[in-house]
Chains A and B, each alone.
Chain A
Amino acid sequence: MKDQNVMGKSSKVIEVDKIAVRFSGDSGDGMQLTGTLFSQTSAVYGNDISTFPDFPADIRAPQGTIGGVSGFQVHFGQGVSTPGDLTDVLVAMNPAALKANVRFMKPGGTIILDVDSFDTKGLEKAGYKTDDPIAEDQLDGYNLIKAPITTLTKESVKELDLDNKSVLRSKNMFALGLVYWLFNRPIAHTQAYIKTKFGKNPAIMQANLLVLQAGFDYGNNIQAMTPSYHVSPSENRKGIYRNLNGNIAAAWGLLLASEKSGLPLFLGSYPITPATEILQELAARKDLGVKVFQAEDEIAGVCTAIGASYSGALGVTSTSGPGLALKTEAIGLAVMAELPLVVVNVQRGGPSTGLPTKTEQSDLLQALFGRNGESPVVVMAASTPVNCFDYAFYAAKIALEHMIPVILLTDGFLANGTQQWRVPDEGDFPAIEVPRTRQKPGEFQPYLRNEDKLNRDWVVPGMKGYEHRIGGLEKDAVSGNISHDGPNHHLMVSLRQQKLERVAHFVPALEVVGDASADLLVVGWGGTFGHLFAAVEALNKEGRKVALAHFNYINPLPLNTAELLGRYKKIVVCELNMGQFAGFLRMKHPQFSYEQFNKVEGQPFTVQELKEQFVKLMEA
């Protein structure tokens, strides 16, 4: 901490390399937007960012209650790989927001309260038993900024002719302005946003601009009492950057695959939390020729995608757990017909309707085995919000080149979380080459296989002399005609499995990060990467010998899996489920023994709990 003289006043500026801020309020208070705007400004400033929206399943839960609290956490600075376990700064727009989020506070952190909302009624609704929440929640050790946000918001727009409701809706901008001041961030980026967003409504635009400025000024005026933070920018590779969440990233990865393969993109889908944004984003992409079919149900979503794929498009369906369950029969058809298909499954808490807005990794076994018959599909998983882009691209590439359905697993945490993303250059991603046939017209054998991938040729309607019939019945291994012959069925089942296994020759080897001679190998897959990585990195810094092997390709597993696992004495598989990947590894590589660390609370791991667990295991 160093003293700094700003505008004639003495104040403290804290230099840090990363900071987490959590905005929280009623679900109608605009906290998601406030958090998004703050993260954009931070990213523009050059910080790494990682965000975590945490919102209720109800659209409008009763106002002022814990159930209706909506939160948005931003972690920014250098070397950020998670949204942060705990937050340095909490913005609480009402008592319920404070009550719900105190447990996420770092000891000694800063809490900004809208004191206007801390009246008897508000405290009661939030479940406080006394009229002193500070004492009740033992917040004495924190740096409290008790700001009369509602009053000052009203005050700052009193010259405008606005109804009370519109005035109150802009109070999130006060909080945002105050936080900008706290982190020495310019408000210009948000001002520009407000001007565009409310351009058609000058009064509202003016109100938001005034309130934003009022919040910033308020911070400036109270600075003698409060330290502010300086978070240095990271050094980034040259290029054009933007913020991206996992859902948009997945949608865009598919767009690039469409462009690289020269095939039109077709999405058949049905709205489901937390995957809906993929459907919405692609529906908006008519400029790139995307056809989106919002189907009558999940089944029709995948079926239209299969129909599109049959006729020569890149067929995709997007969904979440319960929707994947409905699609299983149709995915089996794509396995049998040996057609390319991409299924993006954004996992959420289950079973059944479960926890729709919360994250979990519990669809792995469903993706691997949730179909009748011997029905192998490629299963892969993205591991950061922005690499949803990469894995969506590669899911499409594998599906198209190997003529096989691919299930890409992401999750609610990746889908809604954002990171800064560098727009890839032309050469950053490979070409996609679909298996066009070299067979002669009139002699076409639909199930004749190519040697390297064991895939069949993709012949689409319209090709004269290649007319053929395929379907869900077992077929002769070459001609594709219906066959009920036992040995032929055995052969076809084996071929479909071998075709899947061939994919392993075309995916990158698994790499280990962290201490090469580690005593403990941490194994993870999918969306837990950031937390596992941060925990391993922190322990390495403390001199602990621990390493991380994180899987993006699950079926088939990378070819070097056994060799790599065999190097370590102790392996712990960490998952947000009851041990599904651990079970899969035991099935595929039973020669090793696997410890497990599991959590199913609808929330990501925390780095802290992981570190403690790893230390315990190493000392055991």
Chain B
Amino acid sequence: MSEVQEYTFVDFKSALNVRWCPGCGDHAILNTVQKAMAELQLKPEEVVVVSGIGCSSRFTYYMSTFGFHTIHGRGSAIASGVKVARPDLKVWHITGDGDALAIGGNHFIHTVRRNVDLNIILFNNQIYGLTKGQYSPTSKHGFVSKSSPFGTVEQPFRPGELTLGARGHFFARTIDRELKLCVDVFKAADRFEGTSVVEVLQNCVIFNDKTHQAITDKEFKDDRTILLEHGKPMIFGKNRDKGLMLEGLTLKVVQLGVNGVEEKDLLVHDAECTDSTMHLKLATMEYPEFPVALGVIRSVKGAVYNRDVEAQIQEVQQNSPVKSFRDLATRGNVWEVK
């Protein structure tokens, strides 16, 4: 029986009142995830949202899908278990910079390395919000917080760099308030088979307000970010007059029309290039030297853990005479008492 059902974003909303702080970037991410799921026509009963601990991880309760709000840092391991056991499900893992990169760092890198087919949405607000304002592993060096009253003396992780370092196949970046970009990127993440890591630059209105403002503010955004699109030249700026070129082994921001630079001289984005060198350069661009890269930075097909698990089982089963427990137990080094 085929049943055509049109889902709208409302079909992905649970009955619970959303209790994030007013003005929190999480609201927009929730709405855009729901919108992306509707546009993808996912079936709510086939979606599992797994989250760890932190503000972002409350996400699960606001979805009408299946949801599992787990423990701090372990979400990607639990999500891996769900997906490997049930590859037919769509598994989304909602996490934050503390959950994924501090307490859950080990699980995060190994999940990425295995390339389990998960969508990991990493809310990066560079702060611990739920515990009310301590620095996180993505807080900038010198960042003053309740647990670093004189500034931090540690270097932050850059999620894109970590993802690629863990041999990630898919990395994208978006901004909480960029609703269309969020929807597009979430859809791309879902369509990609393998671990898709999406970093969302998210604003914590209470404990770390405006942390991304230098790049996300409407007034500057076009000049301080670049939207990467596969197959398209790397152009940015309010007037679309700036671009990226390669000079030796380093990236360089150039002005179109100056020194004879034309559009054809610019780099063309290849998200599907297996070699991650350029993706790493793009993912680690920081303002003010460079525009911050948005969109799908890397999307490379590769071996997928859960798919290979299924294939291996199928292959062994085809060739093995052991079809049941009894086959196993009565085989090999046995003797019979009559």
Contact = CB atoms under 8 A, between A and B. Distances in A.
Interface of A: 40, 43-44, 46, 236-243, 252, 255-256, 259, 264, 266, 268, 285-289, 291, 293, 295-297, 299-300, 303-313, 315, 329-330, 332-333, 337, 423-424, 426, 460-473, 481-482
Given A256-B325, A286-B313, A287-B317, 7 more contacts: A237-B337, A240-B336, A242-B335, A426-B326, A461-B66, A467-B66, A469-B14
Given A312-B85, A462-B86, A287 B316 contact: yes
The 10 closest A-B pairs by CB, nearest first: A307-B81, A471-B69, A304-B81, A303-B77, A469-B67, A308-B85, A287-B320, A300-B77, A286-B316, A296-B110
Interface of B: 14, 16, 43-48, 50-51, 53, 60-61, 63-71, 74, 77-86, 88-89, 106-107, 110, 309, 312-313, 316-317, 320, 322-326, 328-330, 332-338
Nearest to A300: B77
B333 A243 contact: yes
Interface centre among B51, B82, B85 (most CB of A within 10 A): B85
B86 A299 contact: no
A305 B81 contact: yes
A307 B328 contact: no
B79 A307 contact: yes
Contacts of B70: 303, 306, 333, 471-472
Contact of B45 (A268, A304, A464): A464
Contacts of B337: 46, 236-239, 241
Contacts of A470: 67-69
Given A462-B45, A464-B43, A472 B332 contact: no
B318 to A, nearest CB: 10
B81 A315 contact: yes
B66 A293 contact: no
A310 B78 contact: yes
A462 B89 contact: yes
Nearest to B49: A469
B107 A296 contact: yes
Given A236-B337, A462-B45, A264 B85 contact: yes
A135 B184 CA distance: 86
Given A287-B320, A300-B107, A307 B335 contact: no
A287 B336 contact: no
A424 B68 CA distance: 39
A439 to B, nearest CB: 15
Nearest to A243: B333
Nearest to A461: B66
A307 B67 contact: no
* Interface residues of A, dominant DSSP: mixed
Contacts of A291: 84-85, 309, 313
Nearest to B46: A462
Nearest to A426: B326
Contact of B325 (A43, A239, A252): A252
Contacts of A286: 312-313, 316-317, 320
B85 A288 contact: no
Contacts of A423: 326, 329-330, 334
Given A293-B81, A297-B106, A288 B328 contact: yes
Contacts of B110: 295-296, 300
Contacts of B77: 268, 295-296, 299-300, 303-304, 307
A277 to B, nearest CB: 16
B84 A308 contact: yes
A289 B326 CA distance: 14
A2 B142 CA distance: 90
Contacts of A305: 81
A30 B336 CA distance: 28
Nearest to A337: B68
Contact of B68 (A285, A296, A313, A469): A469
A287 B322 contact: yes
A325 B93 CA distance: 26
Nearest to B320: A287
Nearest to B19: A482
Contacts of B324: 259, 288
A241 B336 contact: yes
Contacts of A469: 14, 60-61, 63, 66-69
A468 B336 contact: no
Given A287-B316, A423-B326, A461-B46, A303 B338 contact: no
Contacts of B107: 296, 299-300, 303
B84 A296 contact: no
A309 B82 CA distance: 8
A300 B325 contact: no
B338 A238 contact: yes
B98 to A, nearest CB: 16
A359 B65 CA distance: 47
B312 to A, nearest CB: 6
Contacts of A287: 316-317, 320, 322-323, 328
A571 B51 CA distance: 50
A465 B44 CA distance: 9
Given A300-B77, A313-B85, A241 B328 contact: no
A465 B77 CA distance: 27
Contacts of B326: 423, 426
Contacts of A337: 68
B20 to A, nearest CB: 14
A310 B68 contact: yes
Given A237-B337, A287-B328, A288-B322, A462 B84 contact: no
28 contacts: A44-B335, A241-B335, A252-B329, A255-B328, A266-B84, A293-B80, A293-B84, A296-B106, A299-B77, A300-B74, A303-B74, A304-B84, A307-B83, A307-B85, A309-B81, A330-B71, A337-B68, A461-B46, A461-B66, A462-B86, A464-B45, A467-B64, A469-B60, A469-B61, A469-B68, A470-B67, A471-B51, A472-B53
B24 to A, nearest CB: 18
A423 B328 CA distance: 10
Contacts of A424: 329
Nearest to B336: A240
Nearest to A237: B337
B66 A468 contact: yes
Nearest to B321: A287
Nearest to B69: A471
B317 A289 contact: yes
Contacts of A252: 325, 328-329
A210 to B, nearest CB: 23
Contacts of B83: 307
A266 B85 contact: yes
Nearest to B61: A469
A252 B53 CA distance: 36
Contacts of A237: 337
A469 B106 CA distance: 26
A303 B313 contact: no
B334 A240 contact: yes
